Amino acid sequence: MNGDYFYSALRKRAPAARSAQVSGPPAFRGARATGRISKLFIGQSHGYIRLSNEREVFFHRGDVREGTAFNDLNVGDTVAFELFEDAVSGARALHVGRHNRPR
């Protein structure tokens, strides 16, 4: 009897070693856009940004750019972000941060 069976059950082999590729979250790339925050749900950790064409786009606390605090955002603030169009869940704002207008 070979080592493939143990107590009449097929023994699972260890998975083959994978290459040393580092996998992480996909780098989403969307169109640069600006808009104003129209709704904020602080307790639920998300909000909506209204674009110039009156369309509203969802964003989550995790989509806020590093260095920008979600709790410091207010309704009416102008923000810059990447507009990511997803065929399944709809449009989403990524890398949301305060928009600094050139003077």
Question: For residue 86, is pLDDT > 60?
Answer: yes
| CB of 33 closer than 8 Å to CB of 50 | no
Residue 29: the pLDDT is: 74
Cα–Cα distances in angstroms (integers) from residue 57 to residues 38, 82, 96, 97, in the given order? 9, 11, 11, 14
Instruction: Give me the DSSP letters along 11-27.
Output: PPPPPPPPPS----S--
82, pLDDT greater than 90: yes
Burial of 92 (0-12, 13-18, 19+ CB in 10 A): buried
User: For the segment 34-67, what is each residue's pLDDT rounded down to a tens digit?
Assistant: 999 999 999 999 999 999 999 999 999 999 998 8
Average pLDDT over residues 69-98: 92
Confidence of residue 27 (pLDDT cuts 50, 70, 90): low
pTM: 0.68
Q: Does the structure show a pLDDT above 70 at 68?
A: yes
Please say if the pLDDT value at position 89 is more than 90: no
Assigned superfamily of 29-98: Nucleic acid-binding proteins (2.40.50.140)
Domain boundaries, the chain: 29-98
Higher pLDDT, 73 or 19: 73
